[in-house]
Amino acid sequence: MWLARELGGDKIPSDLSLEARSPGIFTSASFTLMKTPLHGSATIIVESVDMSQESLLVGLRFEEISLVVTEDNVGTPIAALLQAGALDLSRPGDLLAYMPSRSPMLVDAKGNLITLDLMKHPKFSEERVRKLAAALIPLVGVESIRTDGEHLDVGFSALPGGAAEALQRLRALF
């Protein structure tokens, strides 16, 4: 929750819920989309993490997606599509790929897979954050992310490119 609030600020829904549910993280929240009050939920599975000096790519797979209109008599196109079952919620990436205004963080979206570049988030664009990331990337890599019981396990690897590469990259920074 802390990371969500840090990255999203005031835009985070007040009823946001995150829960470790194997094999991913179950999330739910209420929000308004195109003047339509909705409650949505999904299980998010981290498929990949790829860190470099220029990017922090996170591949996410979305399962068990649900969107429910929370107020009766809402006459918006989104409400009509959801109530008629005309939206294929199992492939959110296909919907995102055709949206005219997308976040610059969205790198790729196909089927139920979405790839984000977190380095394109405004909070990560600050120079001190970029320098910290550049110093840490040669030293630590993310090996795995999974849920276990009621908590999230993040597996790290030391010196992912080897000691020689880490020294070379660190010398280039300083």
Q: Give CA–CA dist 67/39, Å, rounded.
A: 6
Q: Are 55 and 119 in contact (CB under 8 A)?
A: yes
Q: What is the pLDDT along the chain (174 residues), one digit of tens a residue?
A: 455 555 556 677 888 888 888 888 899 999 998 899 999 999 999 998 888 777 889 999 999 999 999 998 899 999 999 999 998 899 999 988 888 888 889 999 999 999 999 888 887 767 777 777 777 777 777 777 777 766 677 777 787 777 777 777 777 766
The residues, any chain, with a CB within 8 Å of residue 122's CB and separated by 6 or more, are none
pTM above 0.95, yes or no: no
Question: Which of 69, 66, 20, 68 lies closest to 45, judged by CA?
Answer: 20
* Paired tokens of 93: 């990436």
